[in-house]
Amino acid sequence: MSKPISFIICFTALFITACTPKEKLQQPETKPSPIILNKNTQIAQPDLYATTPKVVRYDRYLLINTSPTLAQRDPLEQMIDIHIPTSQQSTINDAMRYILQSAGYSLCKKTSSNQVLYNQKLPVIHHQLGPMRLKQALQVLAGVAWQLEIDVVQRIVCHSLRAGYQLPPEILTNSTLSANRMLK
**Residue 155 scores a pLDDT above 80:** yes
- Vertex 145 angle, CA 142 and 149, to 5°: 60
pLDDT at 57: 83
pLDDT at 146: 95
User: Cβ contacts of residue 74 below 8 Å, gap of 6+?
Assistant: none
On the CB side of 89, CA atoms within 13 Å amount to 0
pLDDT at 46: 59
pLDDT at 54: 77
Cα separation of 159 and 24, whole Å?
50
To the nearest whole number, what is the mean pLDDT of the chain?
Answer: 79
92-118 pLDDT, tens digit per residue, is 999 999 999 989 999 999 998 999 999
User: Cβ contacts of residue 47 below 8 Å, gap of 6+?
Assistant: none
Domain ranges across the chain: 72-169
The band of 180, judged by pLDDT with boundaries at 50, 70 and 90, is: very low
Q: Identify which of 155, 162, 119, 116 has the alpha carbon closest to the alpha carbon of residue 139.
A: 162
**Residue 68 scores a pLDDT above 80:** yes
Asked whether the beta carbons of 114 and 159 are under 8 A apart, the reply is yes
Please give the model's pTM, rounded to 2 decimal places.
0.65
24-55 pLDDT, tens digit per residue, is 445 445 555 555 555 655 555 656 666 666 78
Element (H, E) at 29: none
